[in-house]
Structure 1
Amino acid sequence: MTSSLPRGVDLPQFPWDTLTEAKKVASAHPGGIVDLSIGTPVDETPQIIQDALKEAANAPGYPTVVGTEEVLEATKLWARARGISALDEGATSIPTIGSKEMVAWLPLMLGVRPGDRVLIPRCAYPTYDIGVRLAGAEPIAVDEDPVQWPDAQMVWLNSPGNPNGHVLDVEQLRKIVWWARKRGAVVASDECYAALVWDESLLDGGVPSLLSDAVCEGDVSGLLVLYSLSKQSNMAGYRGGIMMGDPKLVEAAVAVRKHAGMMVSSPVMHAMSVALLDSASAFANPREGLEHVPDNAEADMRDQISHVSIQRGIYARRRAKLEAAFASVGLENDPQSRAGLYLWLRDKRGEVDGRALVERLAQLGILVAPGEFYGEGNEGFIRVSLSGKDERIRAAVERLSQVKTLFAAK
């Protein structure tokens, strides 16, 4: 008898698989491809983190799902630097296998089921939608203002946003918390780009967190925050993240994770602890790394500023170069893009859609992601990652400088 398995899961095609042809074209460029389509770190993991991983390499036993005391204490210190005192007052945290794992599985872990509704950002990374579908529930894309939101069991926030770099301010977050508590909804905020701030308005206080004292006043009921060390610390290969907030919600996720064997390895938890402790000053002073930091700062300033601040300075320089280069060929960045790892660009004339821009840039050997990946209504945009080696960034800038416009005027 022929097996009925595998049946597959009813999910859309993985978006980046549709870039195969554009990648072939870009790869054929004589100067090689400049791949800015994925936000994967390319700079070296800081040495202190590599050393920490090695120090903990002798790990014969199973790790715990809830995490070591070391990583939990480091998370508390890091949270204080972000203006979050709730972890000192009863809120709970656990280490996670990066943040994407929780974006995909948190609705299911919290008991979201068929018939439920989960609100996701209208402009968002695809996994929020996928996670809701995996739970059998209905994803509903909404704008940032909750005034017109339909009732739902759960709400996803992403601030700073991927791909658009939008940041929810304290008043917006307070409004969302009020809305959710009036309806008994859970709010989960993915804040994995919070270290990467660019706009002057954020350089004194940083990116507000859903759990910030100014937002929730220490009451974390119904609230969860996710964070990742992948971007801030070049640790994407380690798979280390954090979930923190309402103890009842965290405990519900832990119960599922225990059965599923979803745990962060002991060496990675030690490396996370070192990274979190070293990153605190970068959050206490968001300007650190953005002013007067030389290109060779890793060597010259390792003992003076956080590794996160050094990386922030590197991304800031790449961002400035790319933003200017794309502007020179008629592509403007979203004016509300104030933080994060990406440029969110569109043809300033409004005449060319994202797919056409992807194809044209591929002819220059530059690969980017079309806005359609991030939800309906975003077809006019492209997302450009800042995570290219400096040499590749220079190559992209040079290629763009050789053309006056990507498309002839109609």
Structure 2
Amino acid sequence: MPSLFARLPAFPWDRLEPYKATAAAHDGGIVDLSIGTPVDPVPELIQDALTAAANSPGYPTVWGTPALREAILGWLARRTNAAGLDHPNVLPVVGSKELVAWLPTQLGLGPGDKVACPQPAYPTYEVGARLAGAEPVPYTGSVTDLDPAGLRLVWLNSPGNPSGRVLDVAELRAAVEWARRHGVLLLSDECYLELGWEADPVSVLDPAVCGGSVDGLIAVHSLSKRSNLAGYRAAFLAGDRTVLGELLQIRKHGGMMLPAPVQAAMTVALGDDAHVAVQRERYAARRAALRGALEGRGFRIEHSEASLYLWATRDEPCWETVADLSEEGVLVAPGEFYGTPGDRFVRVAFTATDERVAEAVRRLS
């Protein structure tokens, strides 16, 4: 019997190791801008909530505490304008990557089913389809151009990773209407919603997009970027209560539950907007510094109006750019990792410390 592993593409990041070694050998050390992992401290009020809940000997619930669900609903109302949602419309999950990778399987997809994935994009959308035995269908234009035959799920990603592209209300609304017309479940990965720079990202849950009904829609949200909680694996879903109700039962059987201290920390994090504003200011300064340095070096920045990345090109093969920058101790991600539309781009994360960003700017200038 073929192994599950055989369905998967080669793990792309292994190919970056030689360039990482070159960058690490630089006299001033490596400036790693290849992965968007938070480096700033977890806000103290979140750490305090985690610590206060440390004595949690019993099993947590898969659905999360009522307080957590209320915090999710409160944040959704403030940030996405979502209206009419209640506890059955939300579901905490163990990090958004786990969710993206296993959602097609948990929804019962398999051979003969298709999952539409945007390009360039986070490769886990394709991985999730392949793990389920379904067929990934990459698309570069509008969802409305897709052939609906056999299509069960369609992914949106706005703000996008790696490009930072933001879909406007009209584009989102057209995608929602198309998916509903063809009976296709629409998944919207909105993990960078709080990080708009040159655009104000909008959720599919916004009534201006969905018409006040979340039927057929699921939004994916994460606290990894907004609250520096990547290490906590804190995320949640919001949307169609029928779909989320089925997922809740499946995840109960699988024991897919967030640790109780993490649930307590999420509750506090979602109730506080001040720490998000502080983190945004940090990222805005790093973004401005790196963008100026890259443009001064002859790069062109495309999209990048939101998220934690600059989508940069010198109109050359991406691996040539990676090699060139690695000689200066700066490591970036080749756009090829995110699909063929990225062949001549690199993704530059601005999640390094202020000191490392300043060093990258110095080297690029």
Find the counterpart in structure 2 of residue 58 from structure 1: 55
Question: Structure 2: how far apart are the matches of 1:378 and 1:126?
Answer: 12
CA RMSD of aligned residues (A): 1.5
Counterpart pick for 2:294 among 315, 326, 331: 326
Find the counterpart in structure 1 of residue 18 from structure 2: 21
Matched AA of 2:130: R
Find the counterpart in structure 2 of residue 237 from structure 1: 231
Instruction: Describe the SS at the equivalent of 2:117.
Output: strand
Structure 1 runs (4+) greater than 6 angstroms displaced: 4-7
Structure 1's unaligned 5+ residue stretches are 280-305, 402-410
Find the counterpart in structure 1 of residue 254 from structure 2: 260
* TM-fit CA distance, 1:6: 7.7
Task: Give per-residue Cα distances to partners, 1:308-354, cap 9 Å, x unaligned.
Answer: 010001000000000010111111110x221000000000xx2x211
* TM-fit CA distance, 1:143: 2.4
Is 1:172 aligned to residue 139 of structure 2?
Answer: no
The equivalences for 1:236-385 within 5 A come to: 236-279=230-273, 306-334=274-302, 336-347=303-314, 350=315, 352-385=316-349
Is 1:393 aligned to residue 349 of structure 2?
Answer: no
Matched AA of 1:99: S
Is 1:132 aligned to residue 126 of structure 2?
Answer: no
8 Å contact from structure 2 (residues 88, 244) kept in 1: no
Greater mean alpha carbon deviation, residues 79-88 or residues 366-375: 79-88
Which of 1 and 2 has greater Rg?
A: 1
Matched AA of 2:195: L
Find the counterpart in structure 2 of residue 284 from structure 1: none
8 Å contact from structure 1 (residues 91, 220) kept in 2: no
Find the counterpart in structure 2 of residue 37 from structure 1: 34
Find the counterpart in structure 2 of residue 76 from structure 1: 73
Instruction: Describe the SS at the equivalent of 2:236.
Output: strand
Find the counterpart in structure 1 of residue 120 from structure 2: 123
8 Å contact from structure 1 (residues 82, 212) kept in 2: no
Matched AA of 2:188: S
TM-score, scaled to structure 1: 0.86
Q: Residue 95 and residue 187 in structure 1: after superposition, are their counterparts in 2 closer, same or farther (change >3 A)?
A: same
Structure 2's unaligned 5+ residue stretches are none
8 Å contact from structure 2 (residues 179, 186) kept in 1: yes
Task: Give per-residue Cα distances to partners, 1:161-192, cap 9 Å, x unaligned.
Answer: 00000111111111011101111000000100
Matched AA of 1:328: G
8 Å contact from structure 1 (residues 353, 381) kept in 2: yes
* TM-fit CA distance, 1:91: 5.5
Matched AA of 1:374: Y
TM-score, scaled to structure 2: 0.96
8 Å contact from structure 2 (residues 109, 132) kept in 1: yes
Question: Structure 1: how far apart are the matches of 2:51 and 2:104?
Answer: 35
